[in-house]
Amino acid sequence: GVPELPARPIAERRRSRRIQVGPVAVGGGAPVSVQSMTTTRTSDVGATLQQIAELTASGCQIVRVACPTQDDADALATIARKSQIPVIADIHFQPKYVFAAIEAGCAAVRVNPGNIKQFDDKVKEIARAAKDHDTPIRIGVNAGSLDRRLLQKYGRATPEALVESALWEASLFEEHDFLDIKISVKHNDPVVMIEAYRQLAARCDYPLHLGVTEAGPAFQGTVKSAVAFGALLSEGIGDTIRVSLSAPPVEEIKVGIQILQSLNLRERRLEIVSCPSCGRAQVDVYRLADEVTAGLEGMEVPLRVAVMGCVVNGPGEAREADLGVASGNGKGQIFVKGEVVKTVPESKIVETLIDEAMKIAEQMEKDGVAS
């Protein structure tokens, strides 16, 4: 077939420093990576590694684990060694766990030096240990845990307050010549969050980790994250993303990947082009689209499948796709690469589409289309 032009990127990326989270480059033009966080007790090594394996299988590239107790800190070395993807230890307050995480071989540590400043020389020691081990640090400013001084100054967690906090935290490391940093400034309100990242992006060249914090249950959190990340990524801002949902972490990865694919920041894989259905529909479009989606889940090749309810836009869209069906009169016309290859009764549409998709995928894999 005719080779397709590379997809047009949504925007030129902001120039940021590059850090290395294990084998995953973040910033400096590296592809935007997708990350999540485990929900297991980190001290339960088996359960945590199991969840990391599921996340890895779903496309997660970096995983964060919480480290609130000594038992969790003790588990880090095994988890970091056995995980297939880089592990970031998430630490609040206790410097000793930061050292433990660095020693354990974690690919990065999330810690806010402002929280541990009261412990005299600890920031300096952390900077030195992190530098010795090439361990980058994420400074994660969060509206919910904003410094009291800044809350008093600004009255609430405004974009300016979040940015001032982030740059102050970064300066605590800069004092010790430590610049191996990425930053997040999360807020649950996408409008505040977008503005905070815009201001931060203009005022530093650190790579940025995007997140809408406490975004909510799956539906609301998906929409909030998609809107916020879409706005920022379309301005070239953002180097790694974490969708926060009150839902299993694998769902966060699915949403994150879909956001990047929608913006052409990642190659599109399976894409179902299905119509919303209307008074003209001659088949049950919802059921058809759901069944085709389920049947083709995990498809590793970029395949566009059109599922259309009638003959108005049906044949046009079906022809534009790699594969498609245009329905009418209880039958489905099956298109492959723009040609009608067969007409089947409605009851056979799903299995025929899946069959044809498998054939095309096999061919694409042979031709080396899959990456």
Cβ–Cβ under 8 Å, residues 108 and 88: yes
Of 144 and 316, the one with the shorter C-beta distance to ligand SF4 is 316
Per-residue x/- marks for ligand SF4, 256-285, CB under 6 A? -------------------xxxx-xx----
314 lies in the binding site for ligand SF4 (CB under 6 A): yes
Q: Which of 312, 262, 261 is nearest to 285 (CA)?
A: 312
Residues 6+ apart with CB under 8 A from 321: 273, 304, 305, 306, 335
Residue 307 CB, nearest distance to ligand SF4 (Å)?
9
Residues 40-59 that bind ligand SF4 (CB under 6 A): none
Beta bridge partners of 184: 140
**Longest alpha-carbon distance in the chain:** 78
318 lies in the binding site for ligand SF4 (CB under 6 A): no
Known binding-site residue numbers for [4Fe-4S] cluster: 275, 278, 310, 317
Q: In the chain, where does DSSP find H-type helix?
A: 45-58, 70-82, 95-103, 113-116, 122-132, 148-154, 159-174, 190-203, 218-233, 249-262, 285-295, 314-320, 349-367
Q: Strand, helix or coil at 293?
A: helix
Residue 182 CB, nearest distance to ligand SF4 (Å)?
44
Residues 6+ apart with CB under 8 A from 333: 314, 315, 318, 325, 326, 327, 340, 342, 343
Interacting span for ligand SF4 (CB under 6 A) from 22-30, 54-62, 235-243, 312-320: 312-320
Cβ–Cβ under 8 Å, residues 50 and 23: no
Of 160 and 291, the one with the shorter C-beta distance to ligand SF4 is 291
Of 112 and 277, the one with the shorter C-beta distance to ligand SF4 is 277
Of 51 and 277, the one with the shorter C-beta distance to ligand SF4 is 277
Residue 51 CB, nearest distance to ligand SF4 (Å)?
40
- What is the phi-psi region of residue 133: left when phi exceeds 0, alpha when psi lies from -120 to 50, beta otherwise? alpha
Q: Which of 8, 22, 49, 77 is nearest to 240 (CA)?
A: 22
Q: CA 259, CA 199: separation in Å to the nearest integer?
A: 22
Q: Which of 112, 263, 261 is nearest to 184 (CA)?
A: 112
Of 135 and 277, the one with the shorter C-beta distance to ligand SF4 is 277
Of 149 and 287, the one with the shorter C-beta distance to ligand SF4 is 287
325 lies in the binding site for ligand SF4 (CB under 6 A): no
Of 214 and 346, the one with the shorter C-beta distance to ligand SF4 is 346
Residue 282 CB, nearest distance to ligand SF4 (Å)?
7
Residue 313 CB, nearest distance to ligand SF4 (Å)?
4
Among 26, 310, 336, 357, binds ligand SF4 (CB under 6 A): 310
Strand 108-110 with 87-90, pairing: parallel
287 lies in the binding site for ligand SF4 (CB under 6 A): no
Cβ–Cβ under 8 Å, residues 99 and 121: no
Residues contacting ligand SF4: total by CB under 6 A? 12
Residue 288 CB, nearest distance to ligand SF4 (Å)?
11
Among 312, 344, 354, 370, binds ligand SF4 (CB under 6 A): 312
Residue 285 CB, nearest distance to ligand SF4 (Å)?
6
Known binding-site residue numbers: 275, 278, 310, 317
Of 276 and 368, the one with the shorter C-beta distance to ligand SF4 is 276
Residue 299 CB, nearest distance to ligand SF4 (Å)?
23
CA 227 to chain centre: 13
309 lies in the binding site for ligand SF4 (CB under 6 A): yes
Q: CA 103, CA 242: separation in Å to the nearest integer?
A: 25
Among 308, 318, 336, 357, binds ligand SF4 (CB under 6 A): 308
Q: Strand, helix or coil at 107?
A: coil
In the complex, the residues that contact ligand SF4 under the rule CB under 6 A are 275-278, 280-281, 308-310, 312-314
